[in-house]
Amino acid sequence: MSAEPIDVKQELDVRGAKCPIPIIKARQEINRLQVGEVLRVVATDPGSVNDFKGWAQTAKNIELVRQEETTDSSGQRLFIHYLRRLA
Amino acid sequence: MTAAILERESATLNGTAEEFRERMQSLEARLHDLEAQVRELKERAPESRVSIVVMSGDLDRVLAAFVIATGAAAMGFQVSMFFTFWGLSALRKNRKLRGKRWLEKAFTLLTPVGAENLALSKLNFAGLGKMLLRKQMRERQISSLSELMQLARDLGVRFVACQMSMDVMGITAEELLPGVETGGVATFLADAAKSQVTLFI
């Protein structure tokens, strides 16, 4: 995975939230962004990886710029999604 | 001599012009047909729409319906939910007995009112199973059915109650949540025909 920095406009913390909440909250946040701006979503739900992929495949106004997986200091797996508003 | 040549040339040119006109006309006709076909295809092409029939009044099934509905709405789909028979229970806000016939009263009393009172399709154990499921959902931070229903409304999901089922079960519009439309099979099919996804739950 490339580590090029992404210019993030807004952060969304959905740690602990389960399907479908991460997608719903991300939609609400992305509606507040301008076209071209990027939302960074931090989730703990492993299902969110495929969910954000599916959303980006289906919707014409969202681009999934990158997905990362990392671990926080307590050992909790974190799934990070970068979404750009396209329209 | 020159006059004869000119006459011949002019006749050829006239012939070419005539041919050209005919070809233009045939092309215009084909373009017209193609435009009509494109229009028709556009009308028939499904929109970004999801239509769900909720026939079940089981907590687990209705929960699945609302997870899909809210997820789809968040993804940018227009979502319509049609509640029929036992599915109407999820939309009920109260019980009214006045003015009902005895059979309608029986239905009213024997069917659950609202999302909070739906039972599990399996392992319900007279409500104990449901209680444990709710506890588990709370602890795992999974949205409750009531929360998902509120989200669905906030996201603009269309709720339609089947009028025929309401009549069969003696449920009146006053017993349903505000903002619920009533309709019949054509209301469902009009939305379903435009949908990329249709589900029956």
Task: Please choose, from the candidates A73, A27, A51, A16, the residue with its C-alpha nearest in 3D space to the C-alpha of residue B154.
Answer: A27
Same domain for B71 and B39, yes or no, is no
Give Cα separations from A31 to A15, A35, A61, B106, B165 (angstroms). Answer: 20, 9, 10, 47, 38
Catalytic residue positions of A, numbered: 19
Tell me the whole-structure pTM to 2 decimals: 0.79
- Rg of chain B taking only CA atoms, in angstroms: 30
d(CA B96, CA B108): 8
Q: Are residues B6 and B62 in the same domain?
A: no
CATH number of the structural domain spanning residue B149: 3.40.1260.10
Model pLDDT, residue A65: 95
Rounded to two decimals, the ipTM of the complex is: 0.76
User: What superfamily does domain A8-85 belong to in CATH?
Assistant: TusA-like domain (3.30.110.40)
B195 vs A: CB within 8 A? no
Could you list the residue range(s) of the whole structural domain that residue B15 is in?
1-45
Minimal-distance CA residue of chain B relative to A14: B141
Q: pLDDT tens digits, residue range B1-43? A: 678 888 888 878 887 888 899 999 999 999 999 999 998 888 7
Cα–Cα distances (Å) from B96 to B101, B102, B109, B175, in that order, read: 12, 12, 9, 7
Q: What is the pLDDT of residue B155?
A: 94
Digit-coded pLDDT (tens) for A46-62: 889 999 998 988 888 89
B100 & B20 share domain: no
Identify whether residues B9 and B76 lie together within a single domain: no
Contact (CB<8Å) B143/A16: no
Among all residues of chain B, which has the CA nearest to that of A54? B75
On whether both B13 and B91 belong to a single domain, the answer is no
Domain count, chain B: 2
Indicate if B15 and B111 belong to the same structural domain. no
pLDDT in the model for residue B68 = 97
Domain boundaries, chain A: 8-85
Asked if residue B67 and residue B3 are part of one domain, the reply reads no
Tokens of A64: 């999934």
Instruction: Give yes or no: residues B40 and B53 share one domain.
Output: no
B145 & B186 share domain: yes
Pair (B24, B82) in one structural domain: no
Q: Is the pLDDT of residue A82 over 80?
A: yes
Put simply, the answer to whether A27 touches B74 (Cβ < 8 Å) is yes
Taking the CA of residue A5 and the nearest CA in chain B, the distance in Å comes to 26
Q: What is the mean pLDDT of residues A9-27?
A: 93
pLDDT, residue B88, reads 95
**Phi and psi at residue B154, to the nearest 5°:** -60, -35
Residue B165 shares a structural domain with residue B195: yes
In a shared domain, residues B53 and B38: no
Residue B197 pairs with which residues in a beta bridge?
B50
Interface membership of B133 toward A (CB under 8 Å): no
What residues in chain B have per-residue pLDDT under 50?
none
